[in-house]
Amino acid sequence: MRFIVFGAGAVGGVVGGRLFEHGHDVVLVARGEHARVMATDGLTLASATGVAELDVPVTERVDKVAWTGEEVVLLAVKSQDSEEALRQLAAVAPSSTPVVCMQNGVANERLALRRFSPVYGICVMCPATFLKPGVVVAESSPVTALLDIGRYPPADGADAIAAGVADALSGSTMESVVRPDIMHWKYAKLLRNLANGVDALCGPAGRSSELVTMARQEGEACLATAGISYASQEEDDARRGHRLHPTEVVGYERGGSSTWQSLARSEGSTEVDYLNGEVVLLGRLHGVPTPVNELLQRLVNQMARARSRPGTMRPEEVLSLLSA
């Protein structure tokens, strides 16, 4: 397998770097200053076990990849960028190219299936930070990430591609098992990711606030009304167990959630429309009120457009806006 990692930010950079570090053929597709720094100086992958300088092949343009038929695409752009990434990919890669959606949210697999088959989902549990061009930080060791994979939609029988990806990941300081019900797990991750909007707005003070509980309750009500199954919190906790050990990496800033990091990098957009916004969509489709998630979605989008720093609101401020 040759891995084309489309989107080499926190998750894509860490996963692609670990695969490369363990002997796999990897090409990173990145953009802007991040791509230029990596092309010149290589990828810096920092963790509690040390700092690796990795000369991973990198390109800013997916049409510069020489496709041989052995490629597996690990799609790791943020969900708001998936449509454009898949459009670029479909212009140059065969439709039979396996695309693995290594992203938060539950909308990417369906988008990919419009252009490619087979398509896979990965439930990403990867504490990682990307705040500086050319540098990604893996915050858990010795296990870097839990990256369970499954075919979308589920297929009968064993799937050699999913098994091959899982083996490669599991041999590169990560853990991955093949799951025929991968969306069952990704919907559970969606519920966890509803806290991202609170983290982006309020920083550490928001992570244990009432807002997180309220957002999750709305999400659970939407999934129940829509008849969508998801792994229970007990199942999800059991899968994580004590496998991940997030720790401070000396000399490197530890960021917040992926949404927080998008604001910190002043990107002008975040994935909130595919996290809290996914619950809002389900609520509107099925008649379930979602005022908390609607407010979080609106406020995070406003901060992104204004390129405001994350963590500048207090949970009480957000709650007062909800009451108003």
- Sign of the Cα torsion 148, 204, 208, 275 reads negative
pTM metric for this prediction: 0.96
For the chain, the straight-line distance linking the first and the last C-alpha, in angstroms and rounded, comes to 54
Q: Are 18 and 28 in contact (CB under 8 A)?
A: no
* pLDDT for res 221: 98
Shared domain for 311 and 200, answered yes or no, is: yes
Shared domain for 209 and 165, answered yes or no, is: no
How many domains does the chain fold into?
A: 2
- Sheet with strand 119-125: strands edge to edge: 58-59, 25-29, 2-6, 71-75, 99-101, 119-125, 146-152
Q: CA 289, CA 270: separation in Å to the nearest integer?
A: 23
Shared domain for 218 and 268, answered yes or no, is: yes
> Could you give phi then psi for residue 73, rounded to 5 degrees?
-90, 125
Structure tokens at 95: 């439709």
Write the burial class of residue 6 (CB in 10 Å: 0-12 exposed, 13-18 middle, 19+ buried). buried
**End-of-domain residue from the set 155, 180, 205:** 180
Enclosing domain of residue 246: 186-323
Q: CA 183, CA 201: separation in Å to the nearest integer?
A: 28
Shared domain for 45 and 111, answered yes or no, is: yes
Structure tokens at 94: 């065969």
Shared domain for 171 and 234, answered yes or no, is: no
Q: CA 61, CA 83: separation in Å to the nearest integer?
A: 16
Q: Are 19 and 43 in contact (CB under 8 A)?
A: no
* CATH code assigned at 32: 3.40.50.720
Shared domain for 191 and 176, answered yes or no, is: no
**End-of-domain residue from the set 180, 212, 237:** 180
**End-of-domain residue from the set 180, 202, 221:** 180
Q: What is the mean pLDDT of each successive set of 10 residues along the chain, which is 324 residues long?
A: 97 98 98 96 96 97 93 98 98 97 98 97 96 96 96 84 97 96 96 97 92 97 98 90 88 92 96 98 98 98 97 95 87
> Could you give phi then psi for residue 65, rounded to 5 degrees?
-75, 135
How far from 71 is each of 91, 108, 192, 215, CA to CA, in Å?
15, 19, 31, 39
Shared domain for 198 and 176, answered yes or no, is: no
Shared domain for 32 and 158, answered yes or no, is: yes
Cβ-based neighbours of 40, under 8 Å, separated by 6 or more:
none
138 DSSP β-pair partners? 128
* pLDDT for res 157: 63
